[in-house]
Amino acid sequence: MLADLGDTRFDRLAETLETTRPEVSVRLNPRKAGRQTPMAATADSRVDWWDGGIYLGQRPRFTADPALHQGRYYVQDASSMVTSAIARHISAIIAKENASACDAAEAGGNGQLPLLWLDACAAPGGKTTAALDGLPDGSLVVANEYDYSRAEILKENVAKWGGTPTVITRGDTAQFRRLGEFFDVIAVDAPCSGEGMMRKDLTAREQWTPSLVVECAARQREILGNLWEALRPGGFLVYSTCTFNTAEDELMADWLRREHGAIPVDTGIIESVNAGASSTGEARNIIDREIEIPGVEPLHSLRFIPGRARGEGLYMTVMRKPGNLIPAAIALSGKDSRQKKGKQKKQAPDRQAVSRQTLDLCRGWLQPTLADAYDVSATDDGVRAFPRLWQPMLPAMLRDLQVISAGTEMAVVKGRDIIPTQQFALSLILSPSAFPAVEVGSGEAVDYLAREAVTLPEGTPRGVVMLTYDGWPLGFVKNLGNRTNSLYPKEWRIRNIT
């Protein structure tokens, strides 16, 4: 353990894990006016390293809060929120390096270049949505999870966040080798021995053994080797674990440097946070000075240690692949996307026979200002919207990856019925005027989320109606006049709010 290295910064770690309780924190959704949620008003204080993070004095009944299900905030440990700041920092570096090549048509938020980001070990979605918050507008995030059931949870949580377009994939990281040098940034929150979670998760304590550390380190090297092949020359790799031991942290990053020539990158987190006018000084408790390990040069890594920073254990470092980065967005504009050529999957099977009228109808549901930025096309069972900028990259992903969701699933087509999806309801590309809207209170909202009957006011138009809560979309119902049919996904419904 860390204490064996003689580093006094970890002297109180064991005591802290035994005698203190985890913090309660949430990250507010900047694209859904998260600061206006009632949850934001209960903040105890803010998270220093991400301005959208807040600590709560006590743990409320999150499941009973409709705002959680609307994607207006995400329950996340404060340490993991540093992903947002890292994404913003990397975006700024890439934008500065490509200032002359980035024209106004390509630039996203703050005039920065949209990026192609892979979250390779993504479930349940906390770090994926955190990356979405820190990336420029127009970026595309691919989020992958090995386990099928966890991939479905990932899909749900990312859909609720509703911001930057995403592609959700499932499977082993070896599949990404087939893409070649594809991504601008790859984030690897690697499966680990979980020592950083021992304060909040009894299972993490019970399953830990020295052999588990060895097993995890071997798996991490395999994952990093796979993903390194999918990173563009000059691209960035963000490596993190929720464990303390150096075998899975510094020594793993050092292996990547020695084996693949990875170049450590200064995260810039401590300097940027401490320079902020609203800094509380909490960021000074993040350890950014290297543990002294014989033969290991400085890595500019970050360590969040319970008892020092207000959060659970987290290690994070940023490495760069040798070479000059030509970001995917610029390569696409120059028709040099580096994606592999070859036979492509059909995106609109003939058997589906989605009519042009259906596609035009769905296109009319988009925000008018975004209509030209998205391609609307048929899928196996419905209609999706995919950002036009990234459309040339989609065939390679459909061919080489196990894609379970691409872009925004707008509607499912069943016979003559065109049923808008819950993902579309919570997305930010839906026009507020596309469907009649009915505002409901918190009790009715919870009933809807449990797929119980909701009564609409007299005079509500028949057909598909959007329910809103606190002015934000909640989901669709179909008004039949004498009753309503819920269009909320059965697999998302609330089962227990106690």
What pLDDT digit, counting tens, does each position of 235-275 carry? 999 999 999 999 999 999 999 999 999 999 999 887 766 55
Residue 104's pLDDT band (cuts 50, 70, 90): very low
Give per-residue pLDDT as tens, 307-330.
Answer: 888 899 999 999 999 999 999 999
**Does 319 share its domain with 176?**
yes
* Poorest-pLDDT segment among 347-356, 430-439, 460-469: 347-356
Residue range(s) defining the domain that contains residue 312: 2-330
Within-domain flag for 101: yes
Mean pLDDT of 349-357: 65
Instruction: Determine the Cα–Cα distance for residues 467 and 308; give it in Å rounded to an integer.
Output: 44
Within-domain flag for 341: no
| pLDDT confidence of residue 38 | 79
**Does 277 share its domain with 390?**
no
**Does 212 share its domain with 354?**
no
Looking at 305, 330, 355, which one is the last position of a domain? 330
**Does 67 share its domain with 178?**
yes
pTM: 0.92
**Does 125 share its domain with 46?**
yes
**Does 16 share its domain with 162?**
yes
| pLDDT confidence of residue 191 | 95
Within-domain flag for 55: yes
On average, the pLDDT of the chain sits at: 89
**Does 284 share its domain with 389?**
no
Identify the CATH number of the domain in which residue 479 sits: 3.10.450.720
Percent of the chain whose pLDDT exceeds 70: 89
Catalogue the active-site residues.
242
**Does 43 share its domain with 94?**
yes
Within-domain flag for 340: no
| pLDDT confidence of residue 274 | 57
| pLDDT confidence of residue 428 | 94
Mean pLDDT of 415-436: 95
Identify the CATH number of the domain in which residue 259 sits: 3.40.50.150
| pLDDT confidence of residue 344 | 44
**Does 117 share its domain with 237?**
yes
Within-domain flag for 448: yes
**Does 232 share its domain with 97?**
yes
| pLDDT confidence of residue 90 | 96
**Does 27 share its domain with 134?**
yes
**Does 40 share its domain with 65?**
yes
| pLDDT confidence of residue 341 | 44
pLDDT higher than threshold 70 for residue 497: no
Split into its structural domains, the chain has a count of: 3
Within-domain flag for 405: no
